[in-house]
Amino acid sequence: QKEVEQNSGPLSVPEGAIASLNCTYSDRGSQSFFWYRQYSGKSPELIMFIYSNGDKEDGRFTAQLNKASQYVSLLIRDSQPSDSATYLCAVYTGGFKTIFGAGTRLFVKA
Amino acid sequence: GAVVSQHPSWVICKSGTSVKIECRSLDFQATTMFWYRQFPKQSLMLMATSNEGSKATYEQGVEKDKFLINHASLTLSTLTVTSAHPEDSSFYICSARDGQGVETQYFGPGTRLLVL
């Protein structure tokens, strides 16, 4: 069974700190990796995707992928209270499905 | 980025009635669309995957006769909750995949269903 694992949290960080969210996946053939943010009562919105080993930066967000370790992470620099949400890791393994993790709840304290 | 719309955003209905929810990809063609359900404080639960012009593939435990899915075109999928009951009250979210490159999935804003 293909799986995507995330720590459910909550992860609590002070405003201005770096929040580090982690995700592991089981299928070595996974091709693309996504991070979504979901505010309470809203649908998920795409933050960024990554498909090559290494880092990818977009503003305050950096996605890191290590295919050898089957590990993908999201760093949020200068965390703001508005970043408080549930962050979903998703993995496209080919075929029709993208597998979603259960999400990590992040709280940024003002 | 790509935009997915859902209609209606809110629906309240009486027990026993049927409700149709529309999902549209506005600026791209979606070869594959997905329907999710999410209860309060719980994770997304995939209900079914639909491909344009073919029958939907339902996840285990999801009743296909109760949740009818039609993917009539590359930009439109519909979910009909037949004979809705209070336990069907939930947040229904569709998503569409662009079929390009990294296979990004874009979510609609969701439809909140309340069955009285």
Tens of pLDDT, residue by residue, chain B (116 residues): 789 999 999 999 999 999 999 999 999 888 899 999 999 888 899 999 998 878 899 999 999 999 999 988 889 999 999 999 999 999 999 999 877 776 889 999 999 999 99
* Range B25-35 burial, b when 16+ CB lie within 10 A, else e: beebebbbbbb
Residue of B nearest to A6 (CA): B43
Q: Which helix (H) or strand (E) holds A12?
A: strand A11-14
Q: Is the CB of residue B7 less than 8 Å away from at least one CB of chain A? A: no
Q: Is the CB of residue B93 less than 8 Å away from at least one CB of chain A? A: yes
Q: Is the CB of residue A42 less than 8 Å away from at least one CB of chain B? A: yes
* Residue at A47: amino acid letter: I
Residue of B nearest to A101 (CA): B43
The answer to whether A75 and A64 have CB atoms below 8 angstroms apart is yes
| Residues B62, B42: Cα–Cα separation, whole Å | 17
